[in-house]
């Protein structure tokens, strides 16, 4: 096992050097991360898996490479395990897609809104919270209840300020029409 860990660390360092230099690899970065993550998971000598530790280590690698950490949600567990099995058989594409999706989700959910400020227009996905899902925000935007705009790319955008105003007005009674 120590030799496998040393080899894994060498692979991570090599990937880090390639990213730092801006060198192109044969695969997209999320696929390289999937391969490295899968190798770490396979070093674990027990049947119960190594998931939490492996995902924490993957987040450490991501942060050291200058990317945001990712979250694999409980609802994604089956897809994650299936992708991990496929990666174990040599196909890292599915796990790479899952990692890339998680990277994008975290950028939209945590990084973009904080970098943009409360009045800046960002994709609705960046404004989702426990109270309002993406579907709810999109529906409010389409109905004109949320100050939002749909770009030429089809993506709806709004601001944290507009969402807060929508939330405040959402629970107020609207005057009835007297017509």
The least confident of 13-17, 36-40, 81-85, 170-174 is 170-174
Decide if 52 is inside a domain: yes
Residues 151, 124 share a domain: yes
Residues 140, 123 share a domain: yes
Residues 69, 104 share a domain: yes
Catalytic status, residue 44: yes
Query: Band of the pLDDT at 173, cuts 50, 70, 90?
Result: low
Residues 53, 139 share a domain: no
Residues 109, 146 share a domain: no
85: its two tokens: 């099995």
Say if residue 179's pLDDT is above 60.
no
Say if residue 142's pLDDT is above 80.
yes
Decide if 179 is inside a domain: no
Catalytic residue among 44, 109, 145, 167: 44
The string of pLDDT tens digits covering residues 146-172 is 999 988 888 899 998 999 999 988 877
User: What domain range includes position 51?
Assistant: 2-115
Mean pLDDT score of the chain, rounded to an integer? 85
Residues 79, 15 share a domain: yes
By the 10 Å C-beta count (0-12 exposed, 13-18 middle, 19+ buried), 166 is classed as: buried
163 vs 42 pLDDT, higher one = 163
36 vs 1 pLDDT, higher one = 36
- Give the C-alpha separation, 38 to 162, whole Å: 42
H or E, element range at 138: helix 134-142
The string of pLDDT tens digits covering residues 1-28 is 788 888 888 888 888 888 877 776 677 8
Decide if 178 is inside a domain: no
Residues 155, 143 share a domain: yes
Q: What is the pLDDT of residue 105?
A: 82
């Amino acid at each position: 096992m120590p030799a496998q860990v040393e080899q894994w660390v060498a692979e991570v360092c090599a990937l880090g050097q390639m990213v730092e230099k801006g060198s192109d690899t044969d695969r997209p970065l999320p696929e390289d991360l999937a391969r490295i993550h899968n190798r770490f998971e396979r070093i674990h000598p027990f049947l119960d898996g190594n998931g939490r530790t492996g995902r924490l280590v993957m987040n450490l690698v991501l942060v050291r490479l200058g990317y945001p950490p990712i979250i694999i949600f409980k609802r994604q567990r089956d897809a994650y395990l299936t992708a991990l099995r496929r990666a174990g058989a040599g196909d890292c594409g599915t796990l790479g897609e899952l990692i890339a999706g998680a990277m994008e989700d975290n950028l939209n959910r945590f990084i973009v809104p904080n970098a943009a400020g409360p009045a800046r227009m960002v994709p609705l996905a960046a404004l989702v919270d426990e109270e309002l899902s993406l579907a709810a925000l999109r529906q409010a935007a389409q109905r004109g209840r949320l100050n939002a705009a749909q770009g030429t790319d089809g993506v709806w955008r709004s601001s944290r300020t507009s969402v807060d105003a929508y939330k405040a007005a959402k629970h107020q009674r609207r005057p009835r029409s007297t017509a």
